[in-house]
Amino acid sequence: MNRRPGFPARLDRSPTQVRAPAPRVAAQARPAAPSAPSGVGLDSQAIRTRMVTRLAAAGIADARVLAAMGRIERHRFVDSALVNQAYEDTSLPIGLGQTISKPSVVARMVELLLGALPAGRLGRVLEIGTGCGYQAAVLGEVATEVYSIERLRGLHEKARENLRPFRLPNVHLLFGDGMQGFAKGAPYAGIIAAAGGEAVPQAWIDQLAVGGRIIAPTLMPDRRQALVVLEKTPRELRRSVLEGVHFVPLKSGIA
Ligand code: SAH
């Protein structure tokens, strides 16, 4: 029940509806019980559509990314006290000192991950830093399989709870140190990090398929973070440094 601790008692009496797989059907069955407090009511779809319009205006062009951002209900991944900010372009606390990334940053990184793939779904993807599970859900819409790893047990469990109603059978949550990657799922068509490290770990490069891409916030020599894209070609690893970003630190070990 991490997801909605402050929800009205009315909803607490019917927990199955809180976890209902088809939220809009549940909402129709109980029109008096809002699916979320102020700001995100029964028609959260309209609010998401506005967010998608803003993302497109800001330069996100990939229709697959825009469709995924329009489908995944971000308000289900934040604390009930923050629900009315869920569709603003802001990062929000998700507990244990971590944050859910801004929608514009999620969209940008997923678009970069899809890269030159002209159509269809990306193959297997590894995400480092599940956090609340939001980006994992978005990835689940654009990739065939998603392995998402989190080093904080509390967040790993929260993400499991958050993702349950979405029923995304292709999203697999793992508890462990993502600095090591996840060799069992390799090779990956794409690897995406939601935490920023000193450098891109060699394990990720080893586990990347030829033709694949790594998108990772990385510290630059001036100690600022920037998005780094690594592309593995048959002959080389191509590295591009893009815009500055602000991610929580990539840490080793589990807790
Ligand atoms: N993608 C997330 C963002 C989470 S913030 C979302 O949509 O909400 C980044 C997460 O990376 C934090 O939860 C942090 O605990 C996790 N993290 C940092 N270092 C890690 C590591 N080595 N392995 C796995 N997770 C890590």
Catalytic residue among 35, 44, 101, 148: 101
Statement: residue 33 has pLDDT above 50: no
227 found inside a domain: yes
* pTM reported for the whole predicted model: 0.86
Asked if residue 187 has a cis previous peptide bond (ω within 30° of 0), the answer is: yes
Q: Which atom of ligand 1 is nearest to the CA of 77?
A: 8
| Pocket of ligand 1 contains residue 250 by CB under 6 Å | yes
In this structure, the residue with its CA closest to atom 11 of ligand 1 is 129
Q: What is the pLDDT of residue 41?
A: 57
Q: What is the pLDDT of residues 127-164, one digit of tens each?
A: 999 999 999 999 999 999 999 999 999 999 999 999 99
- What CATH number is associated with residue 229? 3.40.50.150
What spacing in Å lies between the alpha carbon of 124 and ligand 1's midpoint? Answer: 19
Mean pLDDT within 5-18: 30
Give the mean pLDDT of the chain: 87
- In the predicted structure, residue 32 carries a pLDDT above the cut 90: no
Q: Are 167 and 21 in contact (CB under 8 A)?
A: yes
Give the pLDDT score at 40.
Answer: 62
Q: What average pLDDT score do residues 9-34 get?
A: 34
- Signed CA dihedral, 22, 154, 87, 119: sign only: negative
Q: Is 148 within a domain?
A: yes
| Residue environment code for 107-137, b if the CB has 16+ CB neighbours within 10 A, otherwise e | bbbbbbbbbebeeebbbbbbbbbbbbbbbbb
Question: What is the reported pLDDT for 13?
Answer: 27
User: Over 70: is that where the pLDDT of 31 sits?
Assistant: no
Taking the centre of ligand 1 as the mean of its atom positions, its distance from the CA of residue 202, in whole angstroms, is 18
Whether 38 shows a pLDDT value over 90: the answer reads: no
Structural domain harbouring 86 = 42-245
Tell me which of 31 and 91 has the higher pLDDT.
91
Residue 252 domain flag: no
Residue 119 vs residues 30, 59, 64, 114, 192: alpha-carbon distances, Å: 39, 19, 8, 9, 19
Q: Is 91 noted as a catalytic residue in this protein?
A: no
CB 36 within 8 A of CB 7: no
The tally of domains found in the chain comes to 1
What pLDDT does 17 receive? 34
Question: What residue spans of 149-254 are helical by DSSP H?
Answer: 153-163, 202-207
User: CA-to-CA distance for 111 and 146, rounded, in angstroms?
Assistant: 15
The residue with greater pLDDT, 117 or 154, is: 154
Bridge partners (DSSP) of residue 237 are: 232
In a domain, 17, yes or no: no
Predicted pLDDT at 8: 29
Residue 27 in this model has a pLDDT that exceeds 90: no
pLDDT beyond 60 at 221: yes
What average pLDDT does this structure show over 109-133?
A: 96
Residue 222 has pLDDT above 90, yes or no: yes
Residue 181 is assigned to a structural domain of this protein: yes
Residue 165, helix vs strand vs coil:
helix
- Please report the sign of the dihedral spanned by the C-alpha atoms of residue 47, residue 126, residue 239, residue 115: negative
Backbone angles phi, psi at 232, to 5 degrees: -95, 115
230 domain residue, yes or no: yes
The answer for residues whose C-beta is within 8 angstroms of residue 119's C-beta and 6 or more apart is none
Confidence of residue 116 (pLDDT cuts 50, 70, 90): confident
For residue 74, pLDDT over 90 is answered with yes
CA 235 to centroid of ligand 1, rounded, Å: 31
Does 36 reside within a domain? no
- Any idea which of 24-38, 111-125, 191-205 has the lowest mean pLDDT? 24-38
